Amino acid sequence: MRVSPTVASAGQEGTLRRPKPVRMLWITFAWGSCFLAISIGLKDAPPLWFAALRALMAGGALLLAAGLRREPTPRGIRAWILITVMGIVNVAVAFGAMFGGLAGLSTGTASVLANAQPLLIVLPAWWIYKERLSARTLAAMGTGFAGLLAVALPSGTGTGAWLSLTAALAITAGTLISRQLKADILPVIAWHFVIGGAALALTAGLTEGAPAINWSPEFIGILLYVSLVGTAAAFLGWFTEVRHCRLDAVSAWTFLVPVFGILLSMVVLGERQNAWSLAGMVLVLVSMLVLVLPRRQAFLQRAENCCGQ
């Protein structure tokens, strides 16, 4: 993958800022609560049709916002190829696998596996964008991988666990692709949801048939929340941060997504976690926490600079 000079310069550590805590907190809470909302909504809609509706409604809302703001439509063959690939990977594959994983796993376990992005993105970020890796980061990756195995293996192979991991891989690829796009972020995100949602709808029609959906008030409320808050608003905030922060730093914030997902599933759904899953989740969260916290040397240097001013 060729990195343009503009993107390459953005990948230099000195020009990137830390993620904004308040923005990352509401993004991760929105995504964590989406796992609970989707698990409830799956009682009224088949997985792929539900995922397609989520993407298409989010894309439509963002296109409307882009039109009201008079933001220009992306131009150029390269931009549209990247938007299309991003839509297929980050929406069609990721959402389809995520909804399928939730249908075969507990909400808490699915939220952990589908948010393994911090463990998956550090090597590509080093290779493509020259974001340096430390021994601390590699140790965190190994710990997180052990945790993922502890969570996934009790659930069996070839089921919801691997679908959730597929979703994590697809989201990681989408995040990396987004760095290559230099067009205005709002129309880019809108069109990638529309393209991915259309692909999901086509796949749903071929595999699930006509949409058998129970349009109850509960399902409509869940669909609106998941589409507008957990998708349109949250992904817009996410990709805005991705453009201006180190990929490992911004991705590591997603360790809060399974925390919110697990807590909500235990409180609202009464889900119980077995010992292996709990131990694996702890390992994953510890590894993500190590990735998100600043290095001790950098922390001391900032402290010295503050004291010296």
What torsion, rounded to 10 degrees, do the Cα atoms 48, 102, 162, 132 define?
100
pLDDT reported for residue 30: 94
- Average pLDDT score over residue span 158-186: 79
d(CA 268, CA 246): 35
129/53: higher pLDDT: 53
Q: How confident is the model at residue 105 (pLDDT cuts 50, 70, 90)?
A: low
pLDDT reported for residue 297: 47
pLDDT reported for residue 52: 97
Q: Are 4 and 180 in contact (CB under 8 A)?
A: yes
**pTM metric for this prediction:** 0.79
**What tens digit of pLDDT does each residue of 257-274 get?**
877 877 887 788 777 777
Is the pLDDT at 232 greater than 90? The verdict is yes
d(CA 129, CA 24): 22
Is the pLDDT at 286 greater than 60? The verdict is yes
- Average pLDDT score over residue span 242-247: 84
d(CA 241, CA 300): 25
pLDDT reported for residue 128: 66
What average pLDDT does the structure give for the chain? 80
Is the pLDDT at 46 greater than 80? The verdict is yes
pLDDT reported for residue 51: 95
Burial class (CB in 10 A: 0-12, 13-18, 19+), 246: buried
**What tens digit of pLDDT does each residue of 181-201 get?**
888 899 999 999 999 999 999
d(CA 33, CA 261): 6
Residue 290: strand, helix, or coil: helix
Is the pLDDT at 5 greater than 60? The verdict is no
E-assigned strands of the chain?
A: none
Closest CA to 73 of 194, 172, 164: 194
Residue 293: strand, helix, or coil: coil
Is the pLDDT at 12 greater than 70? The verdict is no
d(CA 188, CA 86): 10
**What tens digit of pLDDT does each residue of 71-96 get?**
999 999 999 999 999 999 999 998 98
d(CA 40, CA 177): 31
Share of the chain above pLDDT 70, in %: 76
pLDDT reported for residue 307: 45
Burial pattern 26-54, b for ≥16 Cβ within 10 A else e, equals ebbbbbbbbbbbbbebbebbbbbbbbbbb
